[in-house]
Structure 1
Amino acid sequence: MGMQIPFKKLMLLHIIFIACLRLSAAELQRFEHRLKHDGSLSFLVVGDWGRRGSYNQSLVAYQMGLIGEKLEIDFVISTGDNFYEDGLTGEEDPAFLDSFTSIYTAPSLQKQWYNVLGNHDYRGDVEAQLSPVLTRKDSRWLCSRSFILDAEIAEFVFVDTTPFVDEYFEDPGDSTYDWRGVYRRKEYLSDLLKDVDGALKNSKAKWKIVVGHHTIKSAGHHGVTKELLLRLLPILEENNVDMYVNGHDHCLQHISSNGIEFLTSGGGSKAWRGDRNWWCPEELKLYYDGQGFMSVKMTRSEAVVLFYDVHGNILHKWSIPKEPLKAA
């Protein structure tokens, strides 16, 4: 007969196990990034890109390198769907080198990349993208489910949006999703929303920016993500978030609504020509159905957002002023 574990010890192990699961879902890791000497911050945003250079991914990367050098960027943000069609098969999948390291080769892009997961990434080995093995292969790579980036004047909260979408659980079709780490989905999402709300409430930064893969407001193919509209948007509005930055729709897009700039940069490779839905023209500042990327340069008093096409042409420029904090 095998050794029996005493009931009290078994219960203690169970409690520790559940606590570990909740800790893994609830706590947001924090990273720091220093400003330039002049107090400014600049970065590029690209999404939906990992296709081994095809669908103009290499051309977008080339233009990113030129603009990155011009702006002296501090880092790059990826809005997810980093590897098509089905994420990575594992830590040794050559797609990592073929779609990332061998594509974004410009000197200006040899900076830290802050990456979130997209729905296509969840169709592969999610743990591989989160693994430090990839960082050892390419030191630029930093990917986590959700985390905080403190850049002094700006605080970025990166949110794992894929588990919010009911369709991936209820009607996944032929796709298989890797839900390891998303233990007890209801609790995972509840803890995540509490952490996002807490991080934004406690932030002393001049700028509050939330980054996720999925759209909240969009005139593109996927359109509005109703789960985020209902659960995440109220938190953004309550905490006076300045920007929500996303991918998912393969386009470049700017919607300005209720004091929040909704910025879609999902044109890193394959784009969907002519795939657009109606949106209130007073809110829709840009909709471009081709490849490209976005840049942001900010100081304490202003953020300037630019969208570029695959040839480096400026499609849209938007300046966002920031009022000085009033003395108490």
Structure 2
Amino acid sequence: MPLMSRVALTLGLTLGAAAAPNSIAAPKGAESLTLALLGDYGWTGWQPLPLDFCNNVLSKLEADGVEIPKAILNDCDAGDRLDISNATIEETRTARYIEKVCLKKNCDAFVSVGDNFYDSGVDFTSEGIQRFYEGWADMYVGEAFDNKTWYQALGNHDVVAGQAGVDFQTSLAPLFDDRWYFGHDNLPYYTYDLTGSDWTATFVVVDSDCFINKYQVNTSVYNTDYVISCHKETQKQVDFLRESFAKSDATWKILQIHHGYISSSTNYTELNPLMEIVRENNAVVINGHDHCLAHYQYEGTDFVLTGGAGYAEAGDCNYGVPIGPYAKWLGADADQAANGFVTLDIDRSALNFEYYARDMRMKGADYYVVKDEMKPSYSFAVTKHATKA
């Protein structure tokens, strides 16, 4: 850290005022804070493997008994290869859109729900380092992003590189850019508190990849050394969530996770042990994985889906058609899902969620029409405070 940044950090922490440059915490003591919630954004910089290799060579290697690394299999994904051009364009435009909204709303920090780097994560290699800069550090720059903490989480694409990829994001990346925050213990699960003048919000980050049963099948590209190992210790994360919420007297409690327990696409019921703790504490769940924006409410719990910061997919939000009464709003229509993100305004009285959907004009057409993209397309508030189980 440059000398002047260290001085500014020391001064800012001493005064207890607004967040100092390069601090690892959102401002404290304010009557309200505004967070930007986003996920599934990390497409920029990914280069699919050559088509000849994927279509012709890969099958020969497999037939010859060559063990193919999961990352190579994933980087031959035909669907992602088809999406990469539009995904890169959409991520770049959405990043600039987030900047515009956050300048208007004065976002204090950013909360990620994972899939930070498609298609197969990053690790401590020349390519991984390059992708970290191209896909994140040099992508999210500007007044709205500078010196703002990003409270990170892992998604399924982040674990394809295995333990090496997880270590890069949890341990090394914070040394590259101190906006990137993964707790103090270099683990894929952690907790942090945001504190206002008369309220506190406790966030707990859990790596849901470890809970997903189909990732334990050896043919899955997510069946890596890390996922195999952490699946055997899911109780550790369950206990961590329970203990973190139990110790907290916070006004608000929030679980930050990648996969959706409630979804218009796939409901990951393996996450139920976590959801039981969420319900006991009257907490809220923020997740991604589905590439769209949505609000679900199930068994008294609000679920905020914010997976639209990269490549939006209408099918993930069932083309805007609610399935069952629990889908309160879906950011999609028959043809397209919206790119965008969610803001969370926290104060003593409420958690106010606002969904910002981008007017998606591309190549002379408007793929998702938003009358005024600088106003929320949907909003809701949580007013019942957290409890202590």
Q: Matches of residues 174-213 of structure 1 in structure 2 within 5 Å? A: 175=221, 177-180=223-226, 183=229, 185-186=231-232, 188-213=233-258
Is the 1:46–1:77 Cα contact (8 Å) retained in structure 2?
yes
Code of the residue aligned with 1:51 in structure 2: it is W
Distance in 2 (alpha carbons) for counterparts of 1:50 and 1:324:
32
1:170 pairs with one of 217, 225, 232: 217
2:280 pairs with one of 222, 234, 238: 238
Code of the residue aligned with 2:189 in structure 1: it is S
Is the 1:45–1:76 Cα contact (8 Å) retained in structure 2?
yes
1:103 pairs with one of 135, 139, 142: 139
| Distance change in 2, residues 1:87/1:300 (3 Å) | same
- 1:164-195 Cα distance to aligned partner (Å, 9 max, x none): 0011112543x254434874633x21111011
Q: Which runs of 5+ in 1 are unaligned?
A: 1-30
Query: 1:154 — aligned with what?
Result: 201
Computed over aligned residues only, the root mean square deviation of the Cα atoms, in angstroms, reads 2.3
Is the 1:197–1:239 Cα contact (8 Å) retained in structure 2?
no
Normalized against structure 1, the TM-score is what? 0.81
Distance in 1 (alpha carbons) for counterparts of 2:268 and 2:134:
31
1:142 equivalenced with 2:181 (yes/no):
yes
1:256 pairs with one of 289, 297, 301: 297
Q: Which structure's residues are more often strand, by fraction?
A: 1
SS of residue paired to 1:103: coil
Is the 1:46–1:268 Cα contact (8 Å) retained in structure 2?
yes
Query: 1:14 — aligned with what?
Result: none
1:315 equivalenced with 2:383 (yes/no):
no
Distance in 2 (alpha carbons) for counterparts of 1:276 and 1:72:
29
Query: 2:105 — aligned with what?
Result: 71
Distance in 2 (alpha carbons) for counterparts of 1:265 and 1:200:
23
1:292 pairs with one of 303, 328, 340: 340
Code of the residue aligned with 1:198 in structure 2: it is E
Task: Give the Å deviation of 1:146.
Answer: 0.5
SS of residue paired to 1:39: coil
The worse-fitting range, judged by mean Cα deviation, of 253-262 and 76-85 is 253-262
Is the 1:217–1:225 Cα contact (8 Å) retained in structure 2?
yes
Among all aligned residue pairs of Structure 1 and Structure 2, give the percentage whose two residues are the same amino acid.
27
Distance in 1 (alpha carbons) for counterparts of 2:26 and 2:92:
29
The worse-fitting range, judged by mean Cα deviation, of 69-78 and 89-98 is 89-98
Is the 1:91–1:129 Cα contact (8 Å) retained in structure 2?
no
Normalized against structure 2, the TM-score is what? 0.69
1:117 pairs with one of 130, 146, 154: 154
Is the 1:145–1:160 Cα contact (8 Å) retained in structure 2?
yes
1:46 equivalenced with 2:27 (yes/no):
no
Q: Which runs of 5+ in 2 are unaligned?
A: 1-22, 45-86, 332-336, 360-372
SS of residue paired to 2:237: helix
Query: 1:20 — aligned with what?
Result: none
1:90 pairs with one of 101, 104, 124: 124
Distance in 2 (alpha carbons) for counterparts of 1:127 and 1:36:
29
Higher relative contact order (CA 8 A, sep 6+): 1
